[in-house]
Amino acid sequence: MSAILRELLCVSEKAANIARACRQQEALFQLLIEEKKEGEKNKKFAVDFKTLADVLVQEVIKQNMENKFPGLGKKIFGEESNEFTTDLGEKIILRLCPTEKETVELLSKVLNGNKLASEALAKVVHQDVTFTDPTLDSVEINIPQDILGIWVDPIDSTYQYIKGSADVKSNQGIFPSGLQCVTILIGVYDIQTGVPLMGVINQPFVAQDLHTLRWKGQCYWGLSYMETKIHSLQPSISKRNSSDTRSQLTTNTSSEAEFSHQFSAVISTSEKETIKAALSRVCGERVFPAAGAGYKSLCVVQGLVDIYIFSEDTTFKWDSCAPHAILRAMGGGMVDLKECLERNPETGPDLLQLVYHVENAGATGVDRWANRGGLIAYRSRKQLETFLSHLMQNLADTHT
């Protein structure tokens, strides 16, 4: 069903346009922030936000997919509630209207009569976007539409998006914070097995034109179904393989300590000290803190790091489904960290991939869809196994 993936790429680009449009005027942006309702709060942040951009993006994705593939809109799930309360206490359900004029009227209610802002947003929402990719165009795959579910994170790393830092310097290509850490995540999974099948990561803020101050973005995708595995980073495979070979040759002549420092990892700024201490022994100085779960996963997809590791339970299915699908298409994946650490590599069962169709028993609100055991994202299974053995050894050393 490459037609669905093609359409998801188009809607992700439309979503990126909305995200960029909302950042153009600081005065407008101040209007777009509402605190999340109690049941939707992500406990990781003391103050969490719902933005109009978030909700608009989610609704645009739902409506566009429903228009092209009837029935699919109902199977798109995300973090955001589309209910707003105006200054006067009036509740408004935000939906994409059939015409630009109607969308202006609805947005105007949400924005307390700000006509200029409403018109600017409605124009972007109703703009047609085309997306072409020769790799995808060369493949035709049929996946039954009725087995598909979709997780959407309309704007991942909302805090960085609101903060809007444009001048953060990267560390070996990895941004610790800033607008570059903002991503739009769309992941398609099999509702029967929970296996991720297709993923789109759109990074709206990659490079800024210093004259116009306008941003350009980048889009990544992957598809893995039965025997077919394709992704947007296809041309760099041979380059990556040669570097894998090179590190393999290095390991044959290196001491154990030097070998362990072959690894690199991206982590959350809030990662536990025990994990950080073990990682510093496994990776040396190649441990990079960064914002945004989607962005950290993207660093693995891009090959900037080997591993993204997170030990807490504050990432969710909408954060991991899209990157997981892309990593599967590349021969990698995402696994539950807690299960990895509790498993005996000699006798234990195979590493279980994260799945996306079952909610956590006994949980409420967003916690129903939390990745409870934390996660590890990786591109190479063999590399993951070696990394885990080093990590577990170093974690054991910290407890003795």
Residues labelled as active-site residues: 54, 79, 153, 155-156, 158, 319
> Is 275 marked as a binding-site residue?
no
- Of 41, 56, 47, 146, which is closest to residue 95 (Cα–Cα)? 56
The dihedral sign for the CA sequence 341, 267, 162, 179? negative
Residue 143 and residue 4: Cα distance in Å, rounded? 9
Query: Please, is 30 exposed, middle or buried when counting C-beta atoms within 10 Å of its C-beta (0-12, 13-18, 19+)?
Result: exposed
> Is 87 marked as a binding-site residue?
no
Are the CB atoms for 194 and 357 separated by under 8 Å? yes
Instruction: Give the residue carrying structure tokens 């703009």.
Output: 127
> Is 156 marked as a binding-site residue?
yes
Q: At what angle do helices 52-68 and 115-125 cross, to 10 degrees?
A: 30
> Is 155 marked as a binding-site residue?
yes
> Is 244 marked as a binding-site residue?
no
The Cα angle at residue 365 between residues 362 and 371, in degrees rounded to 5: 70
Q: Which two tokens stand for residue 128?
A: 């047609």
Are the CB atoms for 224 and 247 separated by under 8 Å? no
Residue 238 and residue 245: Cα distance in Å, rounded? 11
Element of type H or E holding 202: strand 196-208
The Cα angle at residue 107 between residues 216 and 126, in degrees rounded to 5: 50
Binding residues are: 79, 153, 155-156, 319
Binding residues for Mg(2+) are: 79, 153, 155-156, 319
